[in-house]
Structure 1
């Protein structure tokens, strides 16, 4: 479908089939976010023998490095004009970069260095930005309806969770077949990405339409005036802070999860099954969180979803060697809101952009998702840095066979309590969020009244 085929009228109701086809690529590209958090730090610090604090620093640097590139990608995708649309060409460019960087990062040479890790982690992050920012902007523009946006994001994140389920199932089968070890797992992940990403992207590019950008009559802000308007947008500022807090909290736990299972619980072979169970719980709970968001508003639902993670993380310091049943239950309960945090946050983001469209007279979806992408990467960098640096400060060294009780206690408190405390700080930012369903209807009415013919 070319840009000239797109219906420019106000959306009625987006067919479910379109939502499904749009979400397909996330079946693969979301897979990469899980190993980057759960596998890469433990793999490079464990099997590859690099210092844990150094690994955390290199991953953090790789996130900060491409933060400067995100606004450029977002702005260019907003201004891009082609017969295929504004967003689709960027997915075509990002796909091969993701494939190359994934292989180099997940299948490193034996003499790997911290510099090697930083270079390929940075390139993967850049390729992911080229793909993911326009992809999310495209999804935000598929519908203008408050509730339907949640369903579009839910389908995408649902496919993401399903992709993680499939790759974890593959790892479990590999373990049963005797192909254990971090290097075998990493190679399998890389192959899954390289083989599956191109056809899924091709189907979505072919079958999913792209709406023309909204252009409003009246004053249009450009230059510094347009940039200043960002800082006057209270909803945008609140979401940026909330993303950083949510992301940092989740990344601390993701970074330490395999280390806790190995050095505290003593059952590292159950890593993939536990994450698989967590993913199933997240998928199963998605309809409940969607119904809750319809009832109390997506801003309050996402706040409760984040607090849910914090509540079920509180008992972690009392989990010890052999407590696999208790640990498994806590992991499943904690993870049952993960997908909701992601799809509700993205749905809220689309509403925030509507406010900016009305304020500036032009639609800057790519720029906004780039800025949120920057916040996410800063959150990832902060979470990985805390998750690797803080345990090291208290004497925890993953390459050591034995640990002192104080270092284990510090590890479990950092893993269990610190993320919850950080995420709790987002409560006042989102609970009374300025854009609810009633205000959004008013907002859309004002935008439609100013739409260019």
Structure 2
């Protein structure tokens, strides 16, 4: 059954404010904390890593709890509502923080932000997996999810350069504050829209999950493989995103506003590329489309070292090409995860959709946290100073260039190798879906 665009739009609407908590937070918040709020690079890297180490183990517990939830309004709605309240409180603490904030306060605010994000994201994506059991329609469902996520990223990423032009003496603070207000105001409105227009499908299998069901994630070989691909594929843009502004300001010499606008070009073409990858997945298969996107990403990410330092137009063309594959892996893997969840339901007789998508959210967050936790200490070891820009030493500039280009490309190629030959194609999934319906 082909879902109406109204349903898909309402399902994907929360991605608009949630986009601010993803990659844009990794791109803008660590430099803001280190350059304007007074925290050191090493402290910021440690804070982001520690928050993830505390936060990520909560994701499977949230997913398990969602699978156990039975209420008159459904199993997903209570978690979306509660998670939204926590998310809003975290946005106030993280994005509206004042200069002189302590490392402990920064850690607490970020932890609150990400716990709320976990509850909302796990519930939303798990709900999306239940909207249809059709192999190709699932690509369309999560294609909409990624498309609106990209749109949200464009809005978020446009805020800092736009407000920097309007308030040139205020630094990046107005843009960061605006990102926070987007979450605070946008999350409850879009969640309410989803509540009104999207229905929950009854469970495929009625059961009482046990805490030991958490181990199913690691026992299922397809799930293990998918999570490995997801982690590696998230690490690649995570590293590039964490270093993006430093690279284009310190290595290429672009002013902050132009560097931010190049990031905007990157995500514009990432959004425009979503229909292309959806079409390719329908024409071939989800995993083959992922392989092609990852190889393309590796090539374009490596080529960024050749971008000119004095020609924004040519640099923008390069970033447009580099941005095309962004997002392909993320949304296609979540469509594949719905297929894996159905296969597990058929094999075990127990539906663990919430748990499976909680694992994916945990891996995605880990993929965003590790780059900051690793690359910022390396930059400090290289004696790179964010405030110096192009005045950094040659060795610091060369080290930054190497970090920005080589690891993301190698990680993308590794992820392509791992996902190649994925066995759960359209035919195999159709047989599983028919068995579940019967």
Q: C-alpha displacement at 1:420, in angstroms?
A: 0.8
Tell me, yes or no, if structure 1 residue 365 matches structure 2 residue 365.
no
1:63 & 1:355 partners in 2: Cα distance?
30
Using the size of structure 2 for normalisation, the TM-score is: 0.94
Query: Cα deviation per residue 1:348-399 (whole Å; 9 max; x = unaligned)?
Result: 1111111111121011011111112222222222222232122333332223
Q: C-alpha displacement at 1:200, in angstroms?
A: 1.3
Aligned to 2:417: 428
Q: 2:180 aligns with which of 181, 187, 190?
A: 190
Aligned to 2:299: 311
Aligned to 1:206: 196
Aligned to 2:290: 302
Answer yes or no: is the 8 Å Cα contact 1:309–1:337 preserved in 2.
yes
Q: C-alpha displacement at 1:264, in angstroms?
A: 1.8
* Runs of at least 5 residues in structure 1 that lack an aligned partner in the other structure: 1-11
Answer yes or no: is the 8 Å Cα contact 2:135–2:426 preserved in 1.
yes
5 Å-filtered alignment, 1:86-97, equals 86-97=75-86
Q: C-alpha displacement at 1:242, in angstroms?
A: 0.7
Answer yes or no: is the 8 Å Cα contact 1:137–1:365 preserved in 2.
yes
Q: C-alpha displacement at 1:287, in angstroms?
A: 1.3
Q: C-alpha displacement at 1:34, in angstroms?
A: 3.2
Q: 1:438 aligns with which of 419, 423, 427?
A: 427
2:437 & 2:197 partners in 1: Cα distance?
27
Aligned to 1:376: 364
Aligned to 1:112: 101
Query: Cα deviation per residue 1:53-80 (whole Å; 9 max; x = unaligned)?
Result: 2211110111110122111110110110
Tell me, yes or no, if structure 1 residue 153 matches structure 2 residue 151.
no
Tell me, yes or no, if structure 1 residue 181 matches structure 2 residue 171.
yes
Tell me, yes or no, if structure 1 residue 264 matches structure 2 residue 254.
no
2:214 & 2:177 partners in 1: Cα distance?
44
2:202 & 2:435 partners in 1: Cα distance?
18
Change (3 A) 1:19 1:424: same
Answer yes or no: is the 8 Å Cα contact 2:161–2:175 preserved in 1.
no
Aligned to 1:123: 112
SS in 1 for 2:327: helix
5 Å-filtered alignment, 1:209-228, equals 209-215=199-205, 226=213
Answer yes or no: is the 8 Å Cα contact 1:60–1:380 preserved in 2.
no
Q: Pairwise CA RMSD of aligned residues?
A: 2.0
Tell me, yes or no, if structure 1 residue 253 matches structure 2 residue 240.
yes
Q: 2:132 aligns with which of 115, 135, 143?
A: 143
Answer yes or no: is the 8 Å Cα contact 2:164–2:172 preserved in 1.
no
Stretch moving more, 35-44 or 273-282: 273-282
Q: C-alpha displacement at 1:228, in angstroms?
A: 5.5
Answer yes or no: is the 8 Å Cα contact 2:23–2:368 preserved in 1.
no
Aligned to 1:390: 378
SS in 1 for 2:201: coil
Using the size of structure 1 for normalisation, the TM-score is: 0.91
1:323 & 1:387 partners in 2: Cα distance?
28
Change (3 A) 1:50 1:235: same
Aligned to 1:239: 226
Answer yes or no: is the 8 Å Cα contact 2:93–2:110 preserved in 1.
no
Stretch moving more, 395-404 or 130-139: 395-404
* Runs of at least 5 residues in structure 2 that lack an aligned partner in the other structure: none
Query: Cα deviation per residue 1:291-324 (whole Å; 9 max; x = unaligned)?
Result: 1101110111122212222110112334464353
Answer yes or no: is the 8 Å Cα contact 1:319–1:326 preserved in 2.
yes
2:50 & 2:314 partners in 1: Cα distance?
36
Q: 1:404 aligns with which of 384, 393, 403?
A: 393
